[in-house]
Amino acid sequence: MKTPPRGESKRGPRPRQLVTLRDIAREAGVSASTVSRIINGTVKVSDERKASVEAAIAKHDFRPHAAARGLALGRTFTIGVLSQAIDSPFYAEGLRGVERRLLAAGYAALFMSGNWNVADEQRCMRKFIDHGVDGIIMFSGCLPNAAIKDFAKRCPIVVTGRHLPAPQTYSLPIKDRLGATLAMRHLIGLGHRRIAFIAGSENHPDALERLAGYREALQEAHIAFEPRLVAQGDWQESGGLIATTQLLESGRTFTAAFCVNDQTAHGAYLALFRAGLKVPDDVSVVGFDDLPSSSYSLPPLTSVRQSVRVLGERAAEAILALVCGRRPRVEPPPVELVVRDSTRRL
Amino acid sequence: MKTPPRGESKRGPRPRQLVTLRDIAREAGVSASTVSRIINGTVKVSDERKASVEAAIAKHDFRPHAAARGLALGRTFTIGVLSQAIDSPFYAEGLRGVERRLLAAGYAALFMSGNWNVADEQRCMRKFIDHGVDGIIMFSGCLPNAAIKDFAKRCPIVVTGRHLPAPQTYSLPIKDRLGATLAMRHLIGLGHRRIAFIAGSENHPDALERLAGYREALQEAHIAFEPRLVAQGDWQESGGLIATTQLLESGRTFTAAFCVNDQTAHGAYLALFRAGLKVPDDVSVVGFDDLPSSSYSLPPLTSVRQSVRVLGERAAEAILALVCGRRPRVEPPPVELVVRDSTRRL
DNA sequence: ATGAGTTCTGCAACCGGTTTCACAAGACTG
DNA sequence: CAGTCTTGTGAAACCGGTTGCAGAACTCAT
C-alpha cells in the first residue's frame, strides 16, 4: 500500500512508443519473449505463432525501440567517426568508405569534426562515449597517443595515419614517405632538379613524413636539399596559393613543385596561373591523395594515390572486428602514382 | 521458489557498464535518485551530498549509460541527416552547417547517403527510425512527398529543396528558379545571346526548376529558346564533361554556358580545355552553388550562391525547434550571384 | 504404457537511468 | 507551542526489449 498500483498515476509529458513489443504479444496471443525471439530469430518458434506475430507486426508496422534494445543488449550498433572536417574532400572520401561498410553490417555512423585541434577532438571523443557508441574510428588527428589509449579503455578504437599498439586498438598507418618518394622519383626521372615542396601545416606528422620523403628522394638522386625551395602551406587551397605566390615573388626558380596534398596543388595552380605560368609547360606539379576533383583540374593533376575511400572501408572492417572481439586482419591500401597531364619531361 | 534469487545465476557474456549510477550512489552514501537529480540538476540537493556525489563521479569518471537514459527519457539526442552522398562537395558543406548547430545544442548527427535513388533513401529513413533518432533532416532527395509524410508520423522531419506542408514537418525551399535567372541575366547583360544550358539529371525537381529559370530569362530578353543548346548532364563533373563535349562536337555554336551546378561547370571546363577553347575568352561559364573549390578553378568560376552551409545551419535550427515542440521560424538563405573570372563581355 | 529425450513457450529478472509519490525534517505562521 | 508550508530524500515503479530457467507438450524408444 506504500505506492499505488501503477497505471493509476497520471502519465508525464514524456513521449512514448506508440506500439510496444508487449502490445504485439497481446494481439498475437503470445508472450513478449516469443515476439522477441521471432524478431531476432534467436530460437525456433512454431510456424503458427510466428505467422500471427508477423501479421501483428506488419499490421502496426512495429519497430523495436532502439534505446530499449540497446540497453538490454549492451550495444547500440553505432560507430563514432572522427575526422577533421566533414566538408574536406579528403576526409569526405574516407567517410564514404566507412559509411558503405558499416551500413552493410547494420551499423550507423556518428560523424564529428575535430577541426584540426586537440580540444575539439577531445570533445568529440567524449561525445561519442556519451552517446554510447560501440566503437570509434579516428582519421589521423592531433590527439596524443596517451589520450587515445585512455579512451580505448571505454571502447575499441581504430586510428588511421599512425602506429599505435595498445589493447582494444588497431592502427592503419598511411605510407606518406613512400608516396612522397614515388612523386619525387617521377619528377626527377623527367629531368627536374629544382623541385619546390609546398608543405602542410607545421609539426603535423603526415606533413613531416612527406617532407622526409621529399628529402630522401633528393638525396637518393644526389640533389642538394635547398631549404628555400620549401614553402609552408596549410593543407588547404588557400595555403597552397599563398605559399606558391611567395615562392614565385621571392624569385626562387624551380621547374617543378611537389605539393603535400591535392588541395595545396590546386592553390598552387591558381598562383601559377596568376603569374602567367603554364602547367606543365613552365612548371610541373604533383599532388598527393588523388582527390576525385583532381582529374578535372586544368590540366588534370598527377598525384599520389592511396585510396582514402578504401582506407575508410578497411577502417570500418577493423572496427567491426574489434567490436565483435575478433582481431582485425586488414592492411592499409597500396600506394601508387597516377600520372596525368600536370607533369612533363624537362 | 520458482526462480532462484537473482544474482546467483551466472552472468551472460553480455557487456556491462563498468560503473553505474547505483555504484556512485552507494559510494556516496545516497540513493540513486539523488545522484540522478544531481547529474541533471532537476531539483535542488543539499551541498554536502552534492559534493560527495560529485567526488565519486569524478573519481570513477562516471558517465551515464546513453541507452538507459534514452530509454527512460524517450529521446536519444540524435538527429538523422540524409544527403545524397557524403563525399559530394555540395552536400558536405550542408552537413558541415548541420553539424555545427547540432553539436552546439548537444545533439549528434547520424549521416547517411541516399545515392540519388529512392530505394536507398527509403532504407536510410528506416534505419534512422530504427536507431531511434529524435528527428530527421533531408537534403532534397527523390523520395515522394507521401512517403515523407508517412515517416513524419514517427518523428519530425525537416526537408530542404521542396515545399511540403504537413504536420511534424518543415520545409526550406531552394530558390532554383530565381538563382538561374540571376545567372542568365548576368550573361545576357554581357551581350551573350547564344547560351547553352548544361542540365542536371532528368526529372530532378531542382534541375527542372533551374531549366525553367533559364527559359524564363531567355523569354524576358526576347531570345528564342533553342532546345538543341540544352545538353543533359548528371550533376557531376563527368556529366558536364560529356554533355559539353557532345555539344561542341555537334557543331552547335554558343558564346556562353550556364551549368546546372558547379561540378557540372568543372566538367565543362575540362571539355572546353580539351577543345582548345579558353574561358572566358572563347566561352563564358556560370555555375550554381558556389562550391569552395570554385574560387580555385582556372579561371575562378562565376556562380550563383545560396549558401548550403547556412542552409544546413537553418535546417538544424528548424529540426531542433520541431523536436522541442516549437514551430520553427527560419528562412532559406538568400540567393546572390558571385562574379569571378569565368565570364566576360562579348 | 512408461520413461527419457526434444522442442517450444512463458514467467520473471534483468539492463541502467528517471520520476512519482510519500514522508521526515526544518522553516514559518499565528 | 501547535499547525501549516516548504524542502530534501529514498523506495519503488517505470521506460521497452532480452534471456535464463523451468516446465509443458510432444516425440520416440523400450
**What pLDDT tens digit does each residue of chain B (346 aa) get?**
333 333 333 333 456 778 999 999 999 999 999 999 999 999 889 999 999 999 999 999 999 999 999 999 999 999 999 999 999 999 999 999 999 999 999 999 999 999 999 999 999 999 999 999 999 999 988 899 999 999 999 999 999 998 999 999 999 999 999 999 999 999 999 999 999 999 999 888 899 999 999 999 999 999 999 999 999 999 999 999 999 999 999 999 999 999 999 999 999 999 999 999 999 999 999 999 999 999 999 999 999 999 999 999 999 999 999 999 999 999 999 999 999 999 999 9
pLDDT at B13: 47
Alpha-carbon distance values, A111 to A170, A207, B95, B108 (Å): 19, 24, 10, 8
B250 touches strand C (CB under 7 A): no
pLDDT at B5: 34
Mutation target to probe the B interface, by most B beta carbons within 10 A, among A298, A308, A322 is A298
CATH of domain A76-174+309-333: 3.40.50.2300
| 8 A C-beta contact, residue B157 and residue B143 | no
Same fold, A76-174+309-333 and A176-305: yes
C1' of nucleotide D20: residue with nearest CA: B9
- Reading the block at residue B43, the C-alpha cell is 531539483
pLDDT at A15: 63
Alpha-carbon distance values, A72 to A68, A292, B12, B15 (Å): 6, 43, 12, 10
Q: Which residues of B touch A63 (CB under 8 A)?
A: 126, 129-130
Q: Which residues of B touch A95 (CB under 8 A)?
A: 86-87, 111
Q: Side chain identity at A83, as an amino acid letter?
A: S
Long-range pairs of B273-281 with CB within 8 A, sequence gap ≥ 24 = B273/A298, B273/A299, B274/B245, B275/B245, B275/B248, B277/B248, B279/B342, B280/B341, B280/B342, B280/B343, B280/B344, B281/B344
Closest nucleotide (C1' vs CA) to B11 is D20
Fold of the B176-305 domain:
Rossmann fold (3.40.50)
Quote the Cα angle for A55-A58-A64, to 5°. 115
A86 touches strand D (CB under 7 A): no
Facing residue for B74 by CB, picked from A15, A73, A270: A15
Domain layout of chain A by residue ranges = 21-72, 76-174+309-333, 176-305
pLDDT at B9: 33
Integer Cα distance of B343 and B269 in angstroms? 12
Beta-bridge partners for A138? A82, A159
CA of B30 to nearest chain A CA: how many angstroms apart? 21
Fold of the B21-72 domain:
434 Repressor (Amino-terminal Domain) (1.10.260)
Q: Which residues of A touch B93 (CB under 8 A)?
A: 87
- Return the residue of B nearest to A279 by Cα: B298
Confidence of residue A1 (pLDDT cuts 50, 70, 90): very low
Alpha-carbon distance values, B134 to B88, B152, B239 (Å): 25, 11, 37
Q: What single-letter DSSP state applies at residue A333?
A: P
Q: Which residues of B touch A121 (CB under 8 A)?
A: none
Mutation target to probe the B interface, by most B beta carbons within 10 A, among A18, A39, A272, A296 is A296
- Reading the block at residue B150, the C-alpha cell is 508517412
Q: Mean of the per-residue pLDDT values for chain A?
A: 93
Cα Dmax for chain A:
95
pLDDT at A6 over 50: no
Our measurement of CA B338 to C1' D20, in angstroms, reads 67
CA of B226 to nearest chain A CA: how many angstroms apart? 28
Integer Cα distance of B238 and B286 in angstroms? 17
Residues A302, A305, A310, A315, CA torsion sign: negative
| 8 A C-beta contact, residue B263 and residue B292 | no
DSSP string covering B7-39, please? TSSPP-S----SS-HHHHHHHHTS-HHHHHHHH
pLDDT at A2 over 70: no
Helix (H) or strand (E) holding B126: helix B118-130
Integer Cα distance of B92 and B153 in angstroms? 28
Nucleotides of D under 7 A from a protein CB: 7-23
pLDDT at B112: 97
CB contact under 8 A, B86 and A92: yes
- Reading the block at residue A55, the C-alpha cell is 501479421
Facing residue for B113 by CB, picked from A86, A99, A241: A99
pLDDT at A94: 96
Facing residue for A131 by CB, picked from B108, B130, B237: B108
Region A41-51: mean pLDDT is 90
Facing residue for B130 by CB, picked from A16, A66, A309: A66
pLDDT at A14: 57
Our measurement of CA A20 to C1' D22, in angstroms, reads 26
- Reading the block at residue B58, the C-alpha cell is 569524478
Q: How many residues does chain B have?
A: 346
Confidence of residue A5 (pLDDT cuts 50, 70, 90): very low
CB contact under 8 A, A63 and B110: no
B24 touches strand D (CB under 7 A): no
Nucleotides of C under 7 A from a protein CB: 7-23
B76 touches strand D (CB under 7 A): no
Helices (H), chain A: 21-28, 32-40, 47-60, 66-73, 89-104, 118-130, 145-151, 176-189, 205-220, 237-249, 262-274, 308-323
